[in-house]
A and B are shown apart, each in its own frame.
Chain A
């Protein structure tokens, strides 16, 4: 009986997971893009990320922006990535954050007046116990 209950719980969860959203706004001004790969799979270059729908959605509504594209090792689960989002969401210069678990990448959109540094981004991600592989900052 209880195993049946567990099975029903799991099936309900699967059904719930099937109702995916495309966009989700985080607290306050820290928006969050859709939690999808936006058609990007496997190893991609930062140049490809810039052409992606994911990137376009990140910067939509911002005529000028600075975006950091960060490749991260060890970001294999939602729980692992949660700290990354919280760390950057505390920064008033950060406008939006997008995390893609499939690609192991983090996109961080800063306001146009912000001066994000690769070293600072690296330190913040490492403070979450993850390893930064590559950082590129694109200034709009």
Chain B
């Protein structure tokens, strides 16, 4: 039933399918810090070209989950640039050398200056358990900032926590300015979902 609900949601949202891009411009480095109900993580990646990146993620588990250090890679499988929109499909994966545990995933996004929608599907093997962690996210910009301005987005995120087989839906605020990106969401059961990115 859970997978069915995710598939139905994806069928509706996939054509509109964003978030902090997992690949930077050619030669760019990106530092991503994330915190949610399951983990705190720090991920540094480098993009030799605009269509792939690789890096190291240090992850501190919560709720009894062990820490991991992933070697990660992301590939931009498809991009469609239009005058007023951009569509991306990414595939990614990571492996922890010590435990051999891994994750594989697919992410997609579509955005205009005003609207966006994105999704992430991730299968994880962690602490000897295999489960999915997925989400859908969509939102809009209440005003259109010019280049260099502070950009703000109002969003909603629908997340599937496969470890606990639970769905949650919550509001998210996103801001970016210059090389900084910040996103925060909150839901009573899962607490904060925070993401900070810096590109250099």
Contact = CB atoms under 8 A, between A and B. Distances in A.
Given A10-B154, A77-B111, A100 B147 contact: yes
A35 B149 contact: yes
A83 B83 CA distance: 18
Nearest to B81: A74
B184 A78 contact: no
B150 A76 contact: no
A99 B148 CA distance: 9
Interface bracket on B: 35 or more
B86 A74 contact: yes
A133 B199 CA distance: 27
B176 interface: yes
Contacts of B21: 79-80
A10 B145 contact: no
A137 interface: no
A84 B185 CA distance: 30
Contacts of A127: 25-26, 49-50
A30 interface: no
Contacts of A139: none
Identify whether the interface residues of B are mostly helix, strand, loop, or mixed.
loop
B25 A86 contact: yes
A131 B26 CA distance: 14
Given A14-B142, A17-B143, A35-B147, A78 B25 contact: no
Interface string A69-91: 00001101111111110110000
Task: Name the residue in B20, B82, B147, B199 with the highest tally of chain A Cβ atoms < 10 Å from its Cβ.
Answer: B147
A78 B176 contact: yes
Contacts of A77: 86, 111, 113, 151, 176
Nearest to A18: B143
User: Is the contact region of chain A dominated by helix, strand, or loop, or is it mixed?
Assistant: mixed
Interface residues of A, number: 40
Nearest to A34: B146
B146 A83 contact: no
Interface in B62-80: 76, 79
Contact of A17 (B28, B85, B112, B149): B149
A14 B152 contact: yes
Interface string A5-27: 01001100110110011001000
Contact of A129 (B76, B112, B150, B185): B76
What are the 6 tightest A-B residue pairs by CB atom distance, in nearest-first order? A83-B25, A74-B81, A129-B50, A35-B146, A35-B148, A73-B81
Given A79-B176, A80-B86, 6 more contacts: A17-B150, A36-B146, A78-B149, A82-B25, A127-B50, A129-B23
